[in-house]
Structure 1
């Protein structure tokens, strides 16, 4: 275990505070916003990873752009709103909203500079590989020039609308994430100076591919600027500037909203006109034009970003569609669990025999869809209940629920309207479900229903049996191909009774006080975690082995962090895999000497949430208490969302989650970053036996899903705590 323990070297907080004094001061926590930006810096670093194919590196750059956009539109916009309302409530690390905005803006500008340098390097390497991104002034051969001009005339000009900026023409509305070009012109007829704006409609492609064997791309703004003469005949072109804006995109739910559906339909419209929180300017922007934008857009507490490179890095995702398989990850086809195939595809028979856990994306999300499809077709199924947080645009889950309702089954769907950026899609699904006869419930006004649960009630003989699915991720077929999550199927009667209580809580506000095995937030999940942590503390004090392993997306709740600090001081060994935000400061004597934190960034997005407690024996062990959950270690998950945490009691599933999934995350060396006491992250260096958990799971089937083939087929290599010894 020594290889996995935190460093014992003293390391102060970074601001001069002695480690021993941190226990009662805000500096014992990292700033949430800066921690999130540190995560995105790790994502951005993968764009420079020479071990990745070139287009995949470009994809990471695009993802970093999309991530930062959302961060600015939600988190920074929220801080700006607090400043406007003169809310001076400090964050857990002691910063006021104004101070948090200042440090956040500084870091965002630093990351934007890294993005531009990364793009400049990737652009050269892409060109060397035969994928060229041309600019406004690059000259092409006659055939390509002719094609570009004709494409502009036929496909772009009919869509765009030049607008003069003068007293007779009101300043146009610029949509969120909208890109525009301001042109400085002189009218030849009277030599009058004219300023014109062209807003780029969202239906136009962000980048246009020029036909030909050699891939050649151009941004839509550069294409427009190349054709100024076509757009403005009779004018002399003096210069131009490209700009992009981001708006406040958060939706605040009013507790007294009488009609939640109507409220969200209105709120989505308001969001489109939210305050501008970022103005991005490209190139040598005319000072007068810049001042015009500043004035007309009503900038207040806004970030202004100027760059000589491109704007809107998320748009680079279009180029990633280039058909160059040798520049991408080798395609991966998920396995279908052999346990289910042994039962001729009858999922209910497989679950009746024994609980089963499916690990996405290594094992197919189709098994989750088939669970509901079979329920819809099965004449013995009488009822289906389902939570829906994010289901995607082309959802087989929705189709299965509709089919079940049309077959006359009782179908209930809890549709969460407060799923950020999916509100509109969820309203659409809700209306389609209702038309099919599904009973649609929208849950609580002030709490999000974030639990991922399916419940199928089936008539078997003279009684009924309840089959349940618990997920750590969403019922989203696209993200299930790139997010690592766990799907757990069980016919445990206690689980079925508890899920029934959960749905009664959501649909009828009947508090689930008698839950048998499930922990449900905001009722009991926090207290269950506290009890498990306290039990480890008691074991450590009594001289017994004591350890906590956890895998989360984020850890920000101060009370939970303080409890982990207390466990560390009591001698509990704590190993945390926190992919994103982590406000816990590890490795500080007297505070967190026994806590180590790592983050894993790789081909797949680590998304599963797991807790494991040693329970008096050395980890990993059969007695350990293991839980999977939909909740992260954040106050919102524990106090303001409906979440579930499920103990894993089946022996095979327990072994897979603890000895395979959790241990592989701890052992990974090739995609891991260690969190230092000062908040910096360092990529794990070279080790004697390097280990890549994604490669391990892509090449080794699960324990739970193999069924009888586990006894007769190739053994799954067993992991041990000695790094890489498999």
Structure 2
């Protein structure tokens, strides 16, 4: 992977940048790493997992397909955005001062090498190893006569009835193809039924058909042998053009701009989004993928038709969409060892309790103490159960919930609907603009409205990204509130694959703050003062800046300064500048950044005291934790916040986000040790960023340490 990552051995000493400051005292563009190139470097770290011999074989295959999916989104959103900027004037708008045209050239160079490496891994590593375990994707020439006969019958019975070949002629212009759809361009000779000379046609592959087809066991001896839909169509494409000669058939895929444009002054967000969702399928073209055996004449014809240049062409040695190769193989020996998601001790015995009973009420537990869950090591069940208990509890008066990604089949949604039908005042703040989940969220909104819930869409221009649940309950002669605050979405599937924290609490000040956030989302008026939480776009950015300033002040007063920040991305310029200032003052800073990092660490005179690492492993790292020592050695009070917000412009300035403090000492220690120090010790899944902007995989010296494996052992085995 070294060649793909574009890396050379790490330099000795710190990288130097001259000059660090411009004429007016601002940090120069050289001090920053470009966001889009940093995003691409993260995708390469994902691709590297497909070569990791410590990962089981099917998991390596999974990482290969995840890389495909991630790259699709990268082109649909980031590359598409750069192309648009270039058309609008090719002016620099990035921290590092590069123009869109310069970025696109570098992205193309790196992405082409990466895709070439991706297919090399598939063909030379993954597929041969799968074959050793009797899992094969058979090519047409590898089929036995009996298998070919079965495939022919499958084509006529299952495939041909839903195919629609489209000739390209004056009466049939080039069809409008859906984003990322599989298509075939067919070269022809002869005349059709009307006597027309047709030399080209397009055959779209229906999305309703499976891309991978398992051959019957009686034809394979029970082995897991498959054929691709593309092979089935290719083998029998001449059946679609009777009386004509097929001289070529090649699969291709077109990627389009999939970002949604929504004005801030729309009257109805839901209706506006429904209109935009169709446009996403037919946005501007950004990438063309063809197979390596596609003739030059053919792909040049496609490039001209799509108004793309050759830098936007990707010739691949295999299926044009590896994501669709992933099949749910029943081969546990080739996957990560399964584990049982733990239940926090405070909630044990309540795993299946949906209606509060004597001795089984989660509300009783929370009146005594806060409870922390760390997904996926802890089950998502307590979150769902709390909602069900609230829905069925006659003493519960109201439930308020933010929804970013949940899905219509979510038990969260079902419990909220049940609560509304049971007469509770249910308010759902649904963020319709959660990328690629817009249609699902519109369905969720409709479902909850039909059940009698109040549904609001937050604030136009500010995505509601905070993860909040508030339950209002009458207890004796008073009203008491209970809250759940999280770093991740209310999505049971994500909770099995993403690392996230969730805090259950009845703390009056925190619950009052959560109540204030909901009031702002559903009503009008000025921001309500917060007691404990930090709230974007109002207090979170300034609060973080102040806490960094406090660490700087401690160092200037002859004490120690210490900051540890863990999140998915850091791009916001003022935060980065302040961290540079802290480093120059002598504050020791560790950043655990999963993906995008625009900060340049380990640069002499700029960031010697900042280290940046990324953890890429079995689970997607998604927790956001901010730690500030605050002179704890001299009696100061340490600060630790969990948050829904990354350190990005959009999160801190243009979204509704929440960072919540961990007040319980035991839970504080658990997050500090498990969620921060544990990851700083990892030498198996960790990558470190150097001052040149390159990521270097940490090489274990001595005993290996896998942070995620440690948590599996610590939480799930006890």
Q: 1:401 — aligned with what?
A: 416
My pick for the range that moved more, 20-29 or 106-115, is 20-29
**What's the C-alpha RMSD, in Å, of the aligned pairs?**
2.1
Q: CA deviation at 1:230?
A: 3.0
User: C-alpha separation between the residues in 2 aligned to 1:19 and 1:563?
Assistant: 14
Which string of whole-angstrom CA distances, capped at 9 and with x for unpartnered residues, describes residues 298-344 of structure 1? 447982212333311222223xx111111111112201122112675
2:606 is paired with a residue of what secondary structure?
coil
Answer whether contact 1:11 1:19 (CA < 8 A) is retained.
no
Equivalent residue in structure 2 for 1:431, among 442, 446, 453? 446
**Pair 1:663–1:622, CA change in 2 (3 A):** farther
* Structure 2 residue corresponding to 1:279, chosen from 280, 288, 291: 288
| Residues in 2 aligned to 1:342 and 1:674: alpha-carbon distance in whole angstroms | 42
3-state SS of 1:701 partner? helix
Counterpart Cα distance in 1 of 2:282 and 2:676: 44
Task: Find the aligned partners of 1:447 and 1:328 in 2 and give their Cα distance.
Answer: 40
Contact 1:19–1:588 (CA under 8 A) maintained in structure 2: no
Matches within 5 A, 1:20-39: 24-39=27-42
Task: Give the CA deviation at 1:9.
Answer: 5.1
From 505, 508, 520, the counterpart of 1:490: 505
Asked if the contact 1:413–1:439 (Cα under 8 Å) also holds between the matched residues in 2, the reply is: yes
Cα deviation, residue 287, structure 1? 3.9
Q: Cα 1:393–1:187, aligned 2, differ >3 Å: closer, same or farther?
A: farther
Instruction: Output one character per residue of 1:172-225: Cα deviation in whole Å (capped at 9) or x when no partner.
Output: 121011111111122378895532210011111122221221111222112210
Query: 1:20 deviation in Å?
Result: 8.1
2:626 to 611, 614, 622: 611
Among candidates 180, 193, 200, match of residue 195 of structure 1:
200
Match of 1:266 in 2: 275
User: CA 1:12–1:660 in structure 2 vs 1: closer, same or farther (change >3 Å)?
Assistant: closer
Q: Distance in 1 between matches of 2:484 and 2:11?
A: 42
Matches within 5 A, 1:474-513: 474-513=489-528
1:131 counterpart residue number: 135
Find the aligned partners of 2:677 and 2:447 in 1 and give their Cα distance. 43
- Partner of 2:570: helix, strand, or coil? coil
Which residue does 2:321 correspond to in 1? 312
CA contact (8 A) 1:395 1:477 kept: yes
1:94 paired to 2:97 = yes
Residues matched between the structures, number: 692
Q: Is the 8 A contact 1:360 1:484 kept in 2?
A: yes
Corresponding position: 1:207 with 2:212? yes
- Find the aligned partners of 2:500 and 2:196 in 1 and give their Cα distance: 64
What is the TM-score with the length of structure 2 in the denominator? 0.93
Contact preservation (8 Å) 1:8, 1:589: no
User: Contact 1:533–1:563 (CA<8 Å) still a contact in 2?
Assistant: yes
Against the structure 1 CA distance between its residues 518 and 641, is the aligned structure 2 distance closer, same or farther, given a 3 Å change threshold? same
Corresponding position of 2:333 = 326
Deviation at 1:615, TM superposition (A): 1.1
Corresponding residue for 2:668?
A: 654
In structure 1, the partner of 2:641 is 627
Q: Per-residue deviation at 1:699?
A: 1.5
| Native 8 Å contact 1:392 1:477 kept in 2 | no
- Contact 1:20/1:591 (8 A) holds in 2: no
Which residue pairs with 2:354 in the alignment? none
| 1:192–1:255 distance in 2 versus 1, CA, 3 Å | closer
Shift of 1:294: 2.6
**Once the 2 structures are TM-superposed, how far is the Cα of residue 135 of structure 1 from its aligned partner?**
2.4
- Following the alignment from structure 1 to structure 2, what is the Cα–Cα distance between the partners of residues 308 and 405? 53
1:548 is matched with which residue: 557, 563, 566? 563
- Distance in 2 separating the partners of 1:625 and 1:191: 77
Distance 2:423 2:102 in 1: 58
Distance in 2 separating the partners of 1:201 and 1:314: 16
Which 5+ residue runs of structure 2 have no aligned equivalent? 1-9, 351-358
> Does the CA contact (< 8 Å) of 2:421 and 2:452 recur in 1?
yes
Q: TM-score, normalised by structure 1?
A: 0.92
1:637-648 to 2 correspondence within 5 Å? Answer: 637-648=651-662
Which residue is 1:46 aligned to? 49
State which of 89, 108, 113 in structure 2 corresponds to 1:110. Answer: 113
Query: Larger relative CO (CA 8 A, sep 6+): 1 or 2?
Result: 1
Q: Distance in 2 between matches of 1:32 and 1:50?
A: 30
The question of whether the paired residues in 2 share the 8 Å contact of 1:518 and 1:647 is answered with: yes
Paired with 1:551 and 1:614, the residues of 2 have a C-alpha distance of: 15
Larger mean Cα displacement after TM superposition, 453-462 or 91-100: 91-100
Q: Unmatched 5+ residue regions in structure 1?
A: 1-6, 703-713, 717-726
1:60 maps to what in 2?
63
1:564-575 equivalences in 2 (<5 Å): 564-575=579-590
